[in-house]
Amino acid sequence: MTSDCFDLLGEARRPWLDTDALKARFLQLSSTSHPDRFHEASLEVRAAAGEHFATLNHAFQTLVDPKERLLHLLVLERGCPPRDIQRIPPGTMDLFVDIGQTCRESDSFLGAATPGLSPLVRVQRLRDARMWVQRLQGLQAQVGQKREEWLKAAQALDEHWIPTKQDPPVQKPLDRLEEIYRGLSYVARWSDQLQQRVADLLSVG
Tell whether 88 is covered by a domain. no
Q: How many other CB atoms are there within 10 angstroms of residue 35's CB atom?
A: 12
Query: Is residue 169 located within the same domain as residue 125?
Result: yes
Q: How many other CB atoms are there within 10 angstroms of residue 176's CB atom?
A: 15
Query: Is residue 116 located within the same domain as residue 46?
Result: no
Number of domains in the chain: 2
Query: Is residue 36 located within the same domain as residue 133?
Result: no
List the CATH number of the domain containing 60: 1.10.287.110
Whole-prediction pTM: 0.85
Tell whether 23 is covered by a domain. yes
Query: Is residue 53 located within the same domain as residue 103?
Result: no
Tell whether 181 is covered by a domain. yes
Q: Which of 23, 150, 167, 173 has its CA nearest to residue 11? A: 23
Query: Is residue 59 located within the same domain as residue 100?
Result: no
Query: Is residue 60 located within the same domain as residue 104?
Result: no
Q: What string of pLDDT tens digits covers the 205 residues of the chain?
A: 578 999 999 999 999 999 999 999 999 988 887 766 666 667 776 677 778 888 999 999 999 999 999 999 999 999 888 877 778 888 899 999 999 999 999 999 988 766 667 788 888 888 999 999 999 999 999 999 999 999 999 999 988 786 555 555 567 889 999 999 999 999 999 999 999 999 999 988 6
Query: Is residue 104 located within the same domain as residue 197?
Result: yes
Query: Is residue 109 located within the same domain as residue 189?
Result: yes
**SS3 of 205, please?**
coil
Tell whether 75 is covered by a domain. no
Q: Which of 45, 66, 68, 64 has its CA nearest to residue 56? A: 64
Residue 34 is part of which domain span? 5-64
**Contact between residue 21 and residue 60 where contact means Cβ atoms under 8 Å apart:** no
Query: Is residue 102 located within the same domain as residue 157?
Result: yes
**Contact between residue 129 and residue 180 where contact means Cβ atoms under 8 Å apart:** no
Cα–Cα separations (whole angstroms), residue 94 to 68, 115, 200 = 25, 37, 25
**Residue finishing a domain among 64, 81, 103:** 64
pLDDT of 167: 58
